[in-house]
Chain A
Amino acid sequence: MNRKIAAVIAGVLLAGLLPGCSAQQKAEQPDIYVICKSKDSYWDTTRWGAVDAGEEMGLNVYYEAPETEADLDVQIKMIQDAIAAGADAIVVAPLDTDALNNVLRDANLQGIPVLTIDSDVSYAGRAVCVSTQNLSAGAIAAREAAELLHAKGEVGVICHKADAQTAKERMGGFVTELDGNVVDSDGYPEISVVDVKYCEGDIERSKEGTKQLIEEHPDLKLVYATNQPGTVGACQAIEELGLADQITLVGFDYFQGADIYITHGVLDGVMTQNPYNMGYLGVRYAKKLIDGTAVPSIVDTGATYVNAANLNDADIQWLLNPIVDRPAFTD
């Protein structure tokens, strides 16, 4: 037989039997851009959630974040670049409630679905918001505080910002739950929020604010801190004052070393979010949108109250350290 004919037959056979090369499949994978708020290590957890979802669902996940949470313009530029790059979906943790509306609208006009994680925007065109519902988290914190106070006593608040959405909601949910204004109940009439100190999310200022609260309100029984720096500052103040037995502290956002404060009774409990699930579910819902699957407009990733009683539970340990076995990102 002629060698060339044999070679051609073999080639055709092999070509016919090797369907769908991996390069082609790679090209067909949707591109999902995940843009978070800053390069702070807190967001690594969210990033791993997004990366895992991409790996499991066969998606190209591109992660970006501005240096700090003050870089709003950088975040807007990143969204614009994602649109220009032909993103199939954009998942963003917005730095501002309103400032991103225009660029997100542009994305929608290009047929790119937009999802928010961690916090929301006022733009009605965003498809899904995957986050902790801060009003709910505030309410849960209030119920836990009420239980610690046996439904009686003065409460002071260390709030990070007067105009920040998360601060307003965490404050609002807390106060409303105690007042019983929204829910059809009497609330906790013997608990009163006597003062709020706005500390700009700064540890030192939060520490000072806590000391002021305690000094200005001798009958103060509980401090509620609305974010992580506030909680750290409050812990330091109570510890320095040696008032762990007198002052109850309910904080927000678990931090490294919080377990020691909890063990020593300085920090009675801390509301903990699930940043891994925000990243994971954000990308998962983005895929659902690309596939045309119906999705809810709000997905509550929940807020878990962590205290000495449940600190060592397996689910809590995973919640506190979801990426403990993962390598650090180098970019």
Chain B
Amino acid sequence: MKKNKISRVYTFAGILLVAFCILNLVIENLVYVNSRRIYDRNISSVEYLSGMNDCLSTIDDNVLMLVAGMQNNTGTDIFDNIEQGFQELFQWEGRYNALPGRSELEERRYQQASLSIAAYRKKINEVRNVLPVAGSEMARAIYAQELSPLQVCAAEMLDATIEIGTDQAEKNVRRSSILHGISQAVLILLALLGVVGMVIASRRALAANDEIERQSEELEEASVRLDRSRQKMEDAALMNILTGMQNRYALESRLERSIGKSRFNIAVFDVDNFKAINDTYGYETGDEYLACIAERLREQYGNTAEIFNVHGAEFCLLFSDSISDMQAQSLAEQIRQSIGTMIDAGGISLRSNVSGSLWHVLPNENLTVNDVLKKLDEALHAAKRDGGNRLYQIT
């Protein structure tokens, strides 16, 4: 149970960790790709717009050559060079127009730059027939008053477009970084929560396990108590309450283990006319008398034999294996007489004759418990019939 629960917690933690790592990789990748895209777009944008601006400068140089009345070194027509400059500028413009992701502000400024370039080109074409024939001062005036403002304006608008694009790219990258930071923080928080959850779950699992162990111990104790109780009940079933000695059932049980397995000596004693004592002195005295007999037997022969109070005033002694047949015979007589000596029972001195029977039971006699007890009883009753106060040995 405990292992299962802890195993589940660690499995969950493992899955959480893997999910954390995968999510982290995905976010890192997205941020990188986005930043890279913004960076590449901005680099291209700056390159193309700068290309347009360079073309404007080249065109302006050519216009100034016209104004100054200079000839082109290559011998080509300066207007052809100017037009070539515009064509090159339009190529840059085409590349720039193909770029995706232009912001609204950048678009607005670029449109104005584009219109300014168109106005500049138009004005050059308008004055192309005037400039070469005009006097140099006139040409300079036309340049300063009409061409230069348009060229300056176009260049400023292109510069502004570059700045807006760069600024926007920086903002986007910054936003991307902030999003990345927030994502990382959330992921770390999730991981922390996962660890905290795991610790809490482990603690709960351990607490549950302690509870189970405690309940198990209680169950075990209850079981022990039940066993003891059962034992007591069994003991009570096998015990004579009055004398505290094992009763007939205990004797039968004991004999089951010995009959047919080994030889043993067993003797049965009964107080002659015990009924007369009860009748004369009452049951209380009778009971006290039997208790005293039992006490005496336990004291004197407890080490020599297992003693049973079969019922009433009948006692049975199962002698130890170490006791020989001869010794058993002698001891049985000794016991019979011992029981019959004077006993002080509740202030009343009592004595009575005792009859007994003894049997040297052999293992090969194929007997049952009943056979043994019946034979002993028969011998005991025979002794009583013959006047009592004697011991008969079964042969």
> A185 at the A/B interface (Cβ < 8 Å)?
yes
Contact call A1/B196, Cβ cutoff below 8 A: yes
Q: Which of B118, B141, B163, B182 has the most CB of A within 10 A?
A: B141
Beta-carbon nearest neighbor of A9 in chain B: B192
Residues of B within 8 A of A1 (CB): 192, 195-196, 199
> A42 at the A/B interface (Cβ < 8 Å)?
no
Residues of A within 8 A of B188 (CB): 10, 13
Contact call A300/B148, Cβ cutoff below 8 A: yes
> A18 at the A/B interface (Cβ < 8 Å)?
yes
Residues of B within 8 A of A137 (CB): 145
> A85 at the A/B interface (Cβ < 8 Å)?
no
Contact call A57/B163, Cβ cutoff below 8 A: yes
Contact call B137/A184, Cβ cutoff below 8 A: yes
> B208 at the A/B interface (Cβ < 8 Å)?
no
Q: Which of B134, B156, B182 has the most CB of A within 10 A?
A: B156
Kindly state the separation between the CA atoms of A139 and B149 in the bound complex, as whole angstroms: 14
Contact call B181/A18, Cβ cutoff below 8 A: yes
Specify which of B135, B149, B152 is in contact with A183 (CB 8 Å cutoff): B135
Nearest CB in chain A: distance from B151 CB, A: 10
Contact call A315/B115, Cβ cutoff below 8 A: yes
Residues of A within 8 A of B182 (CB): 14, 17-18
Beta-carbon nearest neighbor of B196 in chain A: A1
> A318 at the A/B interface (Cβ < 8 Å)?
yes
Kindly state the separation between the CA atoms of A6 and B194 in the bound complex, as whole angstroms: 12
Beta-carbon nearest neighbor of B195 in chain A: A1
**What's the A-B contact tally at a CB cutoff of 8 Å?**
100
Contact call A318/B112, Cβ cutoff below 8 A: yes
Kindly state the separation between the CA atoms of A303 and B109 in the bound complex, as whole angstroms: 20
> B294 at the A/B interface (Cβ < 8 Å)?
no
A1-B196, A56-B105, A58-B167 known; A10-B185 Cβ under 8 A? yes
| Chain A positions 299 through 323: 1 when the CB is less than 8 Å from some CB of chain B, otherwise 0 | 1111110000010011110110000
> B178 at the A/B interface (Cβ < 8 Å)?
yes
Kindly state the separation between the CA atoms of A237 and B182 in the bound complex, as whole angstroms: 70
Interface size class of A (residues with CB under 8 A): 35 or more
Residues of A within 8 A of B19 (CB): none
Specify which of A18, A56, A140, A284 is in contact with B145 (CB 8 Å cutoff): A140
Contact call A315/B185, Cβ cutoff below 8 A: no
Residues of B within 8 A of A140 (CB): 145-146
Residues of A within 8 A of B115 (CB): 314-315, 318
Kindly state the separation between the CA atoms of A1 and B150 in the bound complex, as whole angstroms: 70
> B153 at the A/B interface (Cβ < 8 Å)?
yes
Residues of B within 8 A of A55 (CB): 105
> B226 at the A/B interface (Cβ < 8 Å)?
no
Specify which of B108, B135, B174 is in contact with A184 (CB 8 Å cutoff): B135
Residues of A within 8 A of B105 (CB): 55-56
> B275 at the A/B interface (Cβ < 8 Å)?
no
| A154-183 interface with B by 8 A CB criterion | 177, 183
Contact call B118/A6, Cβ cutoff below 8 A: no
> B68 at the A/B interface (Cβ < 8 Å)?
no
> A277 at the A/B interface (Cβ < 8 Å)?
yes
| B145-203 interface with A by 8 A CB criterion | 145-146, 148-150, 152-153, 156, 160, 163-164, 167, 174, 178, 181-182, 184-185, 188-189, 192-193, 195-196, 199
Residues of A within 8 A of B156 (CB): 281, 284
Kindly state the separation between the CA atoms of A313 and B119 in the bound complex, as whole angstroms: 9
A184-B136, A315-B115 known; A300-B163 Cβ under 8 A? no
| Chain A positions 8 through 36: 1 when the CB is less than 8 Å from some CB of chain B, otherwise 0 | 01100110111110000000000000000
Nearest CB in chain A: distance from B128 CB, A: 15
A281-B156, A315-B115 known; A139-B145 Cβ under 8 A? yes
Between-chain CB contacts (< 8 Å), 18 pairs: A6-B196, A10-B185, A13-B185, A16-B181, A17-B184, A56-B167, A133-B145, A143-B142, A183-B135, A183-B141, A185-B134, A300-B152, A303-B149, A310-B122, A313-B118, A313-B122, A315-B118, A318-B115
Interface set of A (CB-CB < 8 Å, partner B) = 1, 6, 9-10, 13-14, 16-20, 52, 55-58, 133, 136-137, 139-140, 143, 177, 183-185, 274, 277, 281, 284, 299-304, 310, 313-316, 318-319
Interface set of B (CB-CB < 8 Å, partner A) = 105, 108-109, 112, 115-116, 118-119, 122, 134-138, 141-142, 144-146, 148-150, 152-153, 156, 160, 163-164, 167, 174, 178, 181-182, 184-185, 188-189, 192-193, 195-196, 199
Q: A56-B105, A301-B149 are in contact. List 10 more A-B contacts (CB 8 A).
A: A1-B199, A10-B188, A17-B181, A136-B141, A136-B145, A274-B153, A302-B150, A304-B119, A313-B122, A314-B118
> Which 5 pairs, one residue from A and one from B, show the smallest C-beta to C-beta distance?
A17-B181, A302-B149, A136-B145, A184-B137, A315-B119
